[in-house]
Structure 1
């Protein structure tokens, strides 16, 4: 080990408690990779686990001084390898910065530390009579800091917006250890630049988020859920607009499953019941959140009746209990089974103009099958917020023979042709970096590099993620 690295590790030991630093053989394997990334054969230099903002600042100041690359980590549920360390990098884990510091019932806000899991924050809000609207399947493991750093989306974007819409204020530590505390609790604050948005979605390349003030929403008193079968993508869009108009802002989820996805989930995932017969081209999961069970239930049923009368839906299953609603949502959440039961597969998180999604899915299917006739392809997603998830599986392929790079090049090329985004809600990281040009212009990339150089002149924060600094 070089003398500089030895000096750095000693400086970190002097600043952190004994549990705050792992190095060499003491590094736990769980810090070596995130959920959907290969393991780098070379280990990281160390894992720093600070307990508070001051310790985060001390770690970054030391790394800045020695030019040591740093990889911030949250709950390690990412899908773009943004938190997977490469050999010799230092992991900065935020897992010890846990806890909800305050809930302000007058402002309708929550102040929370970055290492708090999303589920813990949701439960704290619920106990106080509020809703933290951000929600995604990894809620039990993902952390607030990572949610904000990747601008997470999830199940409720159509009503409440992406993660960035939930943030009123932030505290972040810059690459040189400077603490930027802007824990604003006000919805309106136009006093200069909106600095919080520099860090939301930046994937830890501009600074490390340590605390946040999140916007809370009134806790819904009731939920209405239904699964509908449809014949055409045009009917899917018409149902979306009808639901938005008839439900007056109460539509909180609009999940679309193509026939391929529905067939695989109900036919191959053990214990999964099919509430509607297979064979319909599309299935839509609708969710309403409201405050009056009688009125909202009547409005929801009236929507379904109107859609049936207009010929938009061919069949529907209405949940009459929370257990039935959970069973409908289980269909959508069954995607978590794919890595085990449908491997190997290439998974994509893209966004496109809503009106183009149906044509995109058809065009992509045709091109994938032309290249790999044996391929199985599924489409599903939030759609109401432009987000589509695609997975491609080649039966009989092994991890070694699976042509993931070729499939990615094809899929992202088609996304570019349709003027879409290669990442809707999971970030760029290392995994999607080669394809960023499909969704960002040279001028945009140049400005991103200018911001990176200004905030991280030594290039130590998550280097090589999102884009090459140049």
Structure 2
């Protein structure tokens, strides 16, 4: 590859907008060290010109956001150009009447949440990586997070998009209406497409009225059968205010409440399951009603023990337990899996996989936790001295049982490169063929984030 394309790209974005060679390597980000160049456009027009130039040259482009993904969907190779939207980080004023926020794709989630809060509103999609995840990346991966049970995933909270196609065509669908049944809703082609069909440059976010308060509790359960019954009971009793239902298996809870973890167990460590439950609403007697609902659940034998947060500080401390996944890494490198399946199948699935893994590697450790209110369980596995062949075998043990259960190999993290070989377990041949047809139609040269999700050819 000669320098002609570099000169063209530099002419589009200016000297500050292009990094190559030593300047690129100095960023010290593994996903970027081996790329041909990193381009940082400052506007949609510049994104369009960059993509048009790369398309004409037949050079692959890898869009990057906050680099918080877990499936290697933004990893770049030496012959590829990285397109980073980090300079496109402008927020428009919140429209309080319409309850929308228009933002560029490089805006960090935490910034969007703060803007909504300042206007007395709420952007409800929330992630542990809120301080680094970008809105464009969240749209591209259809991010989920902690409040999906009430507010849905990113797809449910986007009114409109501006997208640049592989050849530089700008598709502006910046609709701000709640209801718009005028033909195909094209934004849904790009939400969750992981940058393989187009590059998101701007987004119209749907905002909600901010709850006046929240009630949070940690509950201990004796068996998994109580998990489903408790979820149904709480969701009904809380009349639409249940906003989180996070489940931790005992071994996960023990790790995050035992030194060197900073937290200490708010409930004894000898229970089989722990549920972090939260309700958000505006009722003045919400706290009393929340406590009564949990008391009723205990009387019916669904809850063995409970602690209710009495302050915002205590609420944050309970959430810190669930979010302290870094503790799992203290045992060594992890293989992290992001699974979706029916709640009724979850416990059996986890124990089946645990048994299979430990039969193959007796010293392996598996810990499970996740957003079980929306059917999402995270499985973290440590296999001592795991090599590449071991990882492939481990993937098979984790993913293969999902096919018979009609489960999904990815609940919220996407497919990227890591899960592409297993996508057929969750999608039919007809679905895969249609995905390929979409890719070929919108990116016939196969230059936009190639090799992710689906190949350009069967």
TM norm. shorter chain > 0.5: yes
| Distance across 2 between alignment mates of 1:368 and 1:303 | 39
Match of 2:92 among 83, 92, 101: 101
Deviation string 1:12-42 (CA, Å, 9 cap, x unpaired) is 11111211011122214547535xxxx87xx
- Post-superposition CA distance 1:235-271 (Å, at most 9, x none): 0111101111000110000000011111111124431
Give the aligned partner of residue 280 of structure 1. Answer: 271
**Whole-angstrom distance in 2 between the partners of 1:196 and 1:31:** 34
- Measured in 1, the distance between the counterparts of 2:327 and 2:198 equals 34
Residue number among 206, 226, 241 corresponding to 1:215 in the alignment: 206
> What aligned pairs does 1:173-252 form with structure 2 within 5 A after superposition?
173-252=164-243
Matched, 1:135 2:117: no
In the alignment, structure 1 residue 431 sits paired with structure 2 residue 428: no
| 1:367 has 2:356 as partner | yes
Check conservation: 1:33, 1:83, Cα contact below 8 A. no
Decide whether the 8 Å contact of 2:354 with 2:366 is kept in 1: yes
Q: Compared with structure 1, are the counterparts of its residues 29 and 88 closer, same or farther at alpha carbon in structure 2 (3 Å cutoff)?
A: farther
Q: CA 1:454–1:66 in 2, change beyond 3 Å: closer, same or farther?
A: same
* Paired residues of 1:32 and 1:85 also in contact (CA < 8 A): no
In the other structure, the counterpart of 1:10 is 7
Determine the structure 2 residue equivalent to 1:160: 151
Structure 1 residues 79 and 21: alpha-carbon distance in aligned structure 2, compared to 1, 3 A threshold: same
In the TM superposition, residue 398 of structure 1 has moved relative to its aligned partner by 3.6
Structure 1 match to 2:428: 441
Bigger mean CA offset, 160-169 vs 358-367: 358-367
CA contact (8 A) 1:342 1:393 kept: yes
Q: Distance in 1 between matches of 2:177 and 2:40?
A: 31
Aligned with 1:346 (options 325, 335, 340): 335
SS at match of 1:102: coil
Secondary structure in structure 1 of the residue aligned to 2:324:
helix
Secondary structure at 1:101 match in 2: coil
Report the equivalent of 2:320.
Answer: 330
CA shift digits 1:324-361 (9 cap, x unpaired) = 1111111100113333x132111101100121111111
Paired residues, number: 457
The alignment partner of 1:267 has SS state of coil
SS at match of 2:406: coil
What does residue 267 of structure 1 align with? 258
Structure 1 residue 302 and structure 2 residue 292: aligned?
yes
Instruction: Name the CA distance, whole Å, in 2 between partners of 1:415 and 1:331.
Output: 28
Report what 2:449 is aligned to: 462
Note the aligned Cα RMSD (angstroms).
1.4
Provide the rounded CA distance (Å) in 2 between the counterparts of 1:269 and 1:69.
45
Please give the alpha-carbon distance, in whole angstroms, between the structure 1 residues aligned to 2:269 and 2:328. 19
Once structures 1 and 2 are overlaid, which stretch shifts more, 18-27 or 379-388? 18-27
Partner of 2:50: 59
Unaligned runs of 5+ in 2: none
TM-score, normalised with respect to structure 2: 0.97
Contact 1:147 1:163 survives alignment (8 Å): yes
User: Alpha-carbon deviation of 1:183?
Assistant: 0.5
Q: Give the TM-score, by structure 1 length.
A: 0.95
Mean CA deviation greater in 443-452 or 413-422: 413-422
| Runs of at least 4 residues off by over 3 Å | 28-34, 398-402
CA distance in 1, matches of 2:97, 2:25: 43
Question: C-alpha separation between the residues in 2 aligned to 1:350 and 1:30?
Answer: 33
Cα deviations by residue, 1:294-352 (Å, 9 ceiling, x for unpaired)? 4111221111011001000100011101111111111100113333x132111101100
Distance 1:419 1:33 in 2: 35
2:241, 2:78 → 1: CA distance? 48
Moved more, 425-434 or 402-411: 402-411
CA distance in 1, matches of 2:259, 2:72: 29
Greater Cα shift, 341-350 or 197-206: 341-350
**Match of residue 117 from structure 1:** 108
Unaligned segments of structure 1, at least 5 residues:
none
- Partner SS state of residue 10, structure 1: helix
Paired position in structure 2 for 1:409: 396
* Aligned partner of residue 213 in structure 1, secondary structure: strand
